[in-house]
Structure 1
Amino acid sequence: MTRSQTASTELGAESTVGAQRRSVAVLALATVLGGLGVGASLSAGALLIADVTGNPALSGFGSTMNAVGAAAAGIPLARLAARKGRRIALASGNLLAVGGAVLVIVAALVEAPVLLFAGLAVLGVAAAVQLQARFAATDLATPTRRARDLSLVVWSITVGAVIGPNLIGPGEALGSVLGLHALSGIFVFTIVAQLCAGLVVWFGLRPDPLLEARRIAARRAPSSFSAPQAGAVSGSASASPGFRRSSQFLAVALVALGHAVMVGIMAMTPLHLTHHGGSIELVGITISIHIAGMYALSPLAGIAAGRFGAIPVVIAGFVVLGASALGTALGGASVPVVQTSLVLLGLGWCMVTVAGAALVTALTPEADRPARQGQADTTMNAAGALFGAASGVLFAAGGFPVLSTVAGALVIVGIAVSVRLGAIARR
């Protein structure tokens, strides 16, 4: 290689590093803004359903419809990203979420439950955008920094998750001023937040990380194209397509299993606490520290995955989820045990989700990544919705002990799949 070629390569590498830093910063900011809307709407959705329908028993459908919408949007957003790039896909998702918030406001005005459920489902696209954003952070990342950069975007969800629920009061005041249903006022904040997030992505995500990654890959020698390794798994680009696909589907299954365990136990925690005399304030505190466990330490999970490999971190995450299930099964009326278990539940979910998402990316050739990432998001949300719905039946059958036992069985499956995937990677 000549001196001029070497200089050109170094300049290109520096340019890529700079583009990646900008992409992560833009994605994190957009996720913070979008998260404000998501956190606010999830908090008010259940209350609004109970008020519009007159049936508090239906209030749980708010989170269910949100999960359904997120699951339905995962693959279409990924396909749009594959054709047009991350910028157009993410901004389009933000715009759809704005439409969902408008539907919710209109439904509350005319007291139309069906329209309200539809609006909450469309608003679920905002959650799908957050999931897609974490994958966008990996497009230009080096393999050893992939999990870390992904985790930084996941961490930025913390801001919206913490601040969002506190906007209910101001939202009610705004709704009254605008002549809206008081509980729908908070969705005005959601509209503004999603619009701002979309604008940040549209104007800030340049160059588009996915399209830029493809241009870089096109300049490489064919032999260096998308070898899945470096901090995630050991492997070879020469493996057969069937071999690679099976490992990708196993990685997707790991993320789905971890998410299902988290959603199932979390969904029944409020009922468990109130059945043992806990107050609404206690429920709020418990869920808040659980959310902190989910997101606050995500950069550490990303750093660990980059240093020790994704599969060991995923296995460790399932072990933490198992400890959480054991705590909820045996905790009974002990608030400290239940709260500790919920913190562990969030931490285990974080480890599995961050390392698992990095694993899906590392195992998938660059050309196929958007599609596989979309499948991972859809599968993850669908698994959460299914086990979340089943958790009510299991809880009714035997409380937390029965629910936690089934969750523990899913944890064992997750560890077995992780070990299997590790064996495949070593081969």
Structure 2
Amino acid sequence: MTSTLPEDAPPDRTVPDTAPLQKRVLRTLFMTQILGGLAVGIGIAVGALLVEEMTGSATFTGLAQSLFVGGSALVVVPAVRITERFGRRGGLAFGYGCAVIGTLIVASAIHLENAVLAVVGYFLLGAASFAGLQSRYAAADLAPVARRGSHLALIVWATTIGSVAGPSLAGLAERVWTGWFGGPAYVGSMAAIGVLCLITAAVILVFLRPDPLLTAREISGETDAPKRSIADGYRTAKANPAVRTGVIAAALGHFVMVGVMAMTAVHIKHGMADPEEALSVVGVILGLHIGGMYAFAPIIGRLVDKYGARPILIAGTAVLVAACAVSGSSPASDHVRLSVGLVLLGLGWSAMTVGSAALVTSAITPAERPSTQGFSDLIMGLAAMAAGLASGPIVEYASYGMLCVFCAVVALLVFPFLMGRLTGPKPVEEAA
């Protein structure tokens, strides 16, 4: 049985049917997103509380969250090179391996009471977030063009199962670890994250075969294409309006999500007297937020396939602004309103992430994917770090409400790009 893939191969090229392989790829990525989502959820739940406890200041609190989400800024350059040579398996396993090293560093920092070392460890730990984001691109490598948004969104959705439960499991991990081994707080959370990331890397190496990216390159006749770097991804984004818009939309959406989410835990904690009770409340609210990030992704993917990326990105921006309005007007004690705001924040992020990924992937060839997609995630990581650096001081010297106002303004900056011309060179034209 044969089929043609006009989006990636020249028109006269007949290729084997890749549907069975794509099903295997989706099953494997679905499993790893659950495991990785658990690790990311636990890390998000404890990051801000850990750094505030170690530093005694909210100024540095957002830094841990931003570094966790934006750790890809450190690993994306070697990860792109590894992906170029070994395919998606190598790049994804590398990301989760870096996260395992990060958990060891953070655990050591807790024992040594060294806040600087903890921040460094969280930076590496954030590689798990990078690997989870890159998995959505692996799902799109062999997807039919008419269903690319749906396949990509399915893997984004799979993270829901782990990520929603992750924050709530942070407290359980602490109790189990303390009961078995004793020691300072948050070490149990780091141990849980490390084990989950190690298992995830092993599943990827064993089951993600044949590699979807390398297979897509064989189909398109690009197996001998020159290896590309992050710099090539930048040049592609600069030359292609669709890619450039997708990168900017993803970065601004990520900035808003991280900026508000990072300081919500501290906002809640300041309104509660019992730190242990605060951790439980934070776990529930952040679990709902992460559910908003991932649970509606399949619906968003279908809408992208049906209407295109631009309307979804516009709608996502509007939802982000609404989320900032609801969250920013919520007192620290109003956990219901904060929950609604954080769910909307996650939903807006989901629309921006799925829409931008579909927009970028549809405008490039398989040979360009690792470098261009890696560049996009690099900019997302830098945006996350900028959000963390800005959010702490804004809350410290102004208020949580002013932080939300600031993030709403940032969200609106994407509109001039969405109103421009988004068409770029067709992948089939470039491949041919």
* TM-score (ref. length: structure 1): 0.83
Q: CA deviation at 1:397?
A: 5.5
* Number of the residue aligned with 2:232: none
Larger-Rg structure: 1
Amino acid at match of 2:379: T
Deviation string 1:227-258 (CA, Å, 9 cap, x unpaired) is xxxxxxxxxxxxx9788434312210011111
- CA distance in 2 between partners of 1:311 and 1:125 (Å): 29
Q: CA deviation at 1:412?
A: 2.3
2:415 aligned with 1:420, yes or no?
A: no
* Number of the residue aligned with 2:127: 125
2:311 aligned with 1:315, yes or no?
A: no
Select which of 192, 208, 212 maps to 1:209. 212
Amino acid at match of 1:197: T
- CA distance in 2 between partners of 1:203 and 1:331 (Å): 47
Amino acid at match of 2:299: L
Q: How does 1:163-182 map to 2 (within 5 A)?
A: 163-165=165-167, 166-174=169-177, 177-178=180-181, 181-182=184-185
Q: How does 1:289-368 map to 2 (within 5 A)?
A: 289-330=288-329, 336-368=336-368
- CA distance in 2 between partners of 1:59 and 1:403 (Å): 14
Q: CA deviation at 1:146?
A: 1.2
More displaced, 329-338 or 359-368?
329-338
CA RMSD, Structure 1 to Structure 2 (Å): 3.2
- CA distance in 1 between partners of 2:73 and 2:148 (Å): 24
* Number of the residue aligned with 1:183: 186
Identical positions, percent: 34
* Number of the residue aligned with 1:105: 107
Is contact 1:39-1:161 (8 Å) kept?
yes
Is contact 2:48-2:262 (8 Å) kept?
no
Amino acid at match of 2:29: L
Select which of 73, 76, 79 maps to 1:74. 76
- Cα pair distance change 1:414/1:46, threshold 3 Å: closer
* Number of the residue aligned with 1:230: none
Higher relative contact order (CA 8 A, sep 6+): 2
Amino acid at match of 1:42: I
- CA distance in 1 between partners of 2:182 and 2:271 (Å): 40
* Number of the residue aligned with 1:264: 259
Q: CA deviation at 1:142?
A: 1.2
* Number of the residue aligned with 1:90: 92
* Number of the residue aligned with 1:379: 379
SS across alignment from 2:413: helix
- CA distance in 2 between partners of 1:186 and 1:329 (Å): 29
Looking at secondary structure, tell me which structure has more helix per residue: 1
- CA distance in 2 between partners of 1:374 and 1:219 (Å): 19
- CA distance in 2 between partners of 1:337 and 1:46 (Å): 21
- Cα pair distance change 1:103/1:272, threshold 3 Å: closer
Amino acid at match of 2:406: V
Q: CA deviation at 1:138?
A: 0.7
- Cα pair distance change 1:348/1:16, threshold 3 Å: same
Is contact 2:2-2:16 (8 Å) kept?
no
- Cα pair distance change 1:206/1:265, threshold 3 Å: same
Amino acid at match of 1:308: Y
- Cα pair distance change 1:342/1:64, threshold 3 Å: closer
Is contact 2:98-2:125 (8 Å) kept?
yes
Q: How does 1:229-240 map to 2 (within 5 A)?
A: none
Q: CA deviation at 1:297?
A: 0.7
Q: CA deviation at 1:81?
A: 0.7
- CA distance in 2 between partners of 1:128 and 1:69 (Å): 7
- Cα pair distance change 1:241/1:96, threshold 3 Å: closer
SS across alignment from 1:206: coil
Is contact 1:272-1:399 (8 Å) kept?
no
* Number of the residue aligned with 2:24: 22
Is contact 1:250-1:417 (8 Å) kept?
yes
Q: CA deviation at 1:209?
A: 0.3
Q: CA deviation at 1:43?
A: 2.9
Deviation string 1:268-303 (CA, Å, 9 cap, x unpaired) is 334555666798355444333222211111111111
- CA distance in 2 between partners of 1:16 and 1:302 (Å): 21
* TM-score (ref. length: structure 2): 0.82
Amino acid at match of 1:249: R
2:285 aligned with 1:286, yes or no?
A: yes
- CA distance in 1 between partners of 2:220 and 2:22 (Å): 15
Deviation string 1:361-389 (CA, Å, 9 cap, x unpaired) is 11223211111111111111211221232
- CA distance in 2 between partners of 1:271 and 1:191 (Å): 25
